[in-house]
Structure 1
Amino acid sequence: MRPDARARLRGLAVRSASLAGFVALWWAVSAAGLVDKQFLPAPQAVWEAFVRANSWHELAPGVPREVRGEQNYFLWEHLVASLQRIAIGAGAAVVLGPPVGFVLGTSKVVSAIVEPYLNFLRMLPPLGYIGLLIVWFGIGDTSKDWLLFLAAFPPIVIATIAGVQGVSADRVNAARSLGANRRQVITRVLLPATLPEVIGGIRVAIGFAWTTVVAAELNNGIPGIGGLAYLAGQQLNTPLTVACIIVIGLTALTLDALIKQTAAVAVPWKGKA
């Protein structure tokens, strides 16, 4: 077995053992009754809530009427609804952020005018302006999409600016001395050198947008995994809340892994001399 494969296998074994130990500790604490089950439900209760949220079940014990998942949607449908909002809001930021950042990074005048407003927006917590977005766009998906866009846009722009400004002037001058025109300098020097920073900014932005999904779905967030988690918490349905949190966390890890894999394919030269 090759050393890199052996290292990956060892890392997988360590993570699996860590997860198993965590679940065992969780089960032991709940089984011993050290924490009230209202605050820390047992793993079995969380699993049952997860299964219930993904299946048809009785409305209540003894009531023959069956209902669909939670809030008339399966849990996976709640997740898909949230991912669709991320795709629209954060996706728009991924499309618009790099060009805006590139302009700001190459123009000191435009940067001096726009960057203070960009930093102001970056520092605002999403809950600080969600109410204003609802007033402007209503409680439908439009306000949610805008919130996720505003959460993801600044990190991408700022990462792009840093990437452009981090390109060595010697590299640009060397390209010009070899006869490259402005377009060739941009496409052959600036863009390849900036791309790793852009992808890093996208990675941060998508993560931040995903953590904002609960705030985006506080109002009229059903279907939505964040809205379901919030509603379950209000109803003191702790097992379902924990199940939603686990799904949100696993989805975040999956999205991050996909972006990392994309980066490895798109910028294979990163980290190489």
Structure 2
Amino acid sequence: MSAVDAATDARPEPRIPAAGKPVDPARDRPRRGAGFARRAALRTIALAVLLGAWWLVTELEVWPPVLVPKPASVWHQFIRTESVHDGQRGYSGHLLHEHLWASLRRILIGSGFGVAAGVVLGLLIGLIGTVRVILEPLVDFVRTLPPLAYLSLLVIWFGIDESPKIWLLVIASLPPVAVATADAVRGVHPDHLHAARSLGARRWELPWRVVLPSALPEIVTGVRVAVGVAYTSVVAAETVNGVPGIGGMIRDAQRYNQTDVVVLGIIVIGLSGLAIDACLKAVERRLTPWRGR
């Protein structure tokens, strides 16, 4: 073999996609950058159109300000709730970021416990037939309940402090993770288990070494759904003694027809929810890099 042939054989072969054409990663990088720029531009244009339509509707006074407040009014409330004015600190004695952090803290604690319990419960349902027969209908029953259906019961049990709020978010976030985990576990191919056993894995090691990694993409998707459910339930959780908290702030503003504060709270919830989901997507990419995008 000549030196040229040896050098040719030593070079890494180009990656072959499904279409059968070689792909150069360095050549793909500008395309990905252009795609990201195009998506960012489209989203910016969509946001500008939405804000423009909102401004136009309020300027034409299609609806009274008590129904649809002006963007400037919402911005003014943002400044007021995030500062001290006329001796009053923010809204109901708390700044806007303090309301937001109180809600996020409840969501992180409640959904954290709910996700952990949901993964364990999903593994049991997916791996043990007897547990599946007993607990799967109960999980489906709780999953169909709206949070307000059992909030009053939780208040009777735990009072009006933090406990009922945390428990409501735990119960709201547990079923999606349990269902996703159980379905993912049942979908693990038996050949993977047989291969692990043939390589020396013990029976008690299979759930952690084979089943859980194989089911991880679906479990992470279930976690994203669960956190979203917990976030949509925080307003219900904070209807009882919910200040500080975004839901409590919205509830108090609704009582006094402060529509601009209500809209501000909705925008804050939506933006923070997008940020949390983006973080979960980053975690998903890190934990499951083999999953197709």
Give the stretch that moved more between structures: 212-221 or 182-191.
182-191
What residue in structure 2 maps to residue 178 of structure 1?
199
d(CA) in 2 for partners of 1:85 and 1:33?
39
Aligned pairs (5 A) from 1:1-273: 2-58=30-86, 66-271=87-292
3-state SS of 1:212 partner: helix
Which AA in structure 1 matches 2:88?
Answer: V
Letter matched to residue 168 of structure 2: L
Detail structure 1 runs of 4+ shifted over 6 Å in the superposition. none
Q: Count matched residues.
A: 265
The separation in 1 between residues aligned to 2:250 and 2:235, in whole angstroms, is: 8
CA drift at 1:174: 2.5
**Hey, what's the Cα distance between the residues in 1 that align with 2:32 and 2:167?**
43
**What TM-score comes out, normalization by structure 2 length?**
0.88
CA shift for structure 1 position 172: 1.4
- Partners of 2:259 and 2:78 lie apart in 1 by 12
Gaps of 5+ in 1: 59-65
Shift of 1:175: 2.3
Q: Tell me by how many angstroms 1:217 deviates.
A: 0.4
1:193-234 CA deviation, whole Å, 9 max, x = no partner?
A: 111111111100000000000000001000000110111111
Q: Normalised by the size of structure 1, how large is the TM-score?
A: 0.94
Q: Deviations over 1:146-198 (max 9, x none)?
A: 00000001111111101100101122122223333224433332111111111
Larger Rg over CA atoms: 2
How much identity, in percent, do the aligned residues show? Answer: 43
